[in-house]
Amino acid sequence: MASIGALTKEQTARLGEQGYLALPEFVSAEEVSEIGAIFDHLLASKAGWQDGNQFDLAGTDDGGDAKLPQILYPSRYAPALKNHAVVQRARQIAEAYFGEAPRDAHGEHMIFKPPRDGAVTPWHQDQAYHDPTLDERALNFWIPLDDCDEQNGCMHYVPGSNSLDVLPHHSIGHDPSVHGLEVDEPEKHARQSVSCPLPAGGCVIHLPTTLHYAGPNLSGRQRRAYILIMEVQGTKRSVPVDNYWMREKRTARMERAEQISGAEPKPL
């Protein structure tokens, strides 16, 4: 597969205007197979569970079957991912987009939607989870390791929503023991959305305030996603976001992380 070092001018403009950009080819079949095998092993072995980095994104994470399993920082448990060619590809695109090198410590996580599972990834903005004092400058690379469509939980976006400030959010089900967030009045945004089906190995890039959602997996197929976040120094906000939805959150995964580290983990 040819290396992608930068977006074209047209792609760059579309990303800035729409808040997201779909690339049908980003990861080779061999890379999909390699990362997929790592994904399957980490999920099956519960890697990261003890220190709060594997948990249920959509449930209370009480030790039962996870509705929406997520693994944070997978390269901590699979060092082969640290400087993987896919990571370097994403880093090069981000550097060309921002005109400066991204931070060495990139964000990363994996999300699994089991077959015939009703859990959704609700409408949200990524920045609603993060530092309320900054306007983030980051690119989120959402890479499906399986063909994804509306039946098994492909991404949906609200075009142009990247121009919005951080909107009010709440914990899924208004339950602060659940990790995941949902924007207030999600139905208002859903009416403006478009779906983004992709083949395995494709990629959709989105910006920190772009509203996005992934539906339930209603098919008999699995849906695995590998996500990379390449970030440069953000801009200090004159007025911080009042992210009360994060201040009230208390999850089982946070408690596990505190027991290991003695400090509250930074939400991702």
pLDDT digits (tens, 9 = 90+) for 38-47: 999 999 999 9
The mean of the pLDDT values for the chain is 92
Is 167 inside any structural domain? yes
Q: Look at residue 268 in the predicted model and tell me its pLDDT.
A: 44
Is 249 inside any structural domain? yes
The mean per-residue pLDDT over the stretch 100-117 comes to 93
**pLDDT beyond 60 at 267:** no
Structure tokens at 132: 């309320």
Is 52 inside any structural domain? yes
Q: Which of 89, 79, 70 is nearest to 225 (CA)?
A: 70
Side-by-side strand order, sheet with 203-206: 20-23, 203-206, 134-144, 223-236, 107-113, 69-72, 54-56
Which DSSP letter does residue 186 get? H
pLDDT: which is higher, 240 or 66:
240
Which structural domain range is residue 58 located in?
9-261
Q: Look at residue 3 in the predicted model and tell me its pLDDT.
A: 58
The mean per-residue pLDDT over the stretch 185-194 comes to 93
- CA 50 – CA 186 distance, rounded (Å): 33
pLDDT tier for residue 262 given thresholds of 50, 70 and 90: low
Is 267 inside any structural domain? no
pLDDT tier for residue 56 given thresholds of 50, 70 and 90: confident
Q: Tell me how many domains the chain contains.
A: 1
Is 266 inside any structural domain? no
* 173 torsion bin: left (phi>0), alpha (psi -120 to 50), beta (else): left
**pLDDT beyond 90 at 251:** no
**pLDDT beyond 70 at 249:** yes
Q: Look at residue 261 in the predicted model and tell me its pLDDT.
A: 63
- CA 179 – CA 133 distance, rounded (Å): 21
**pLDDT beyond 90 at 168:** yes
**pLDDT beyond 50 at 155:** yes
Is 3 inside any structural domain? no
pLDDT tier for residue 266 given thresholds of 50, 70 and 90: very low
* 266 torsion bin: left (phi>0), alpha (psi -120 to 50), beta (else): beta
Is 231 inside any structural domain? yes
Is 92 inside any structural domain? yes
pLDDT digits (tens, 9 = 90+) for 209-246: 999 999 999 999 999 999 999 999 999 999 999 999 99
- CA 244 – CA 64 distance, rounded (Å): 28
CATH number at residue 118: 2.60.120.620
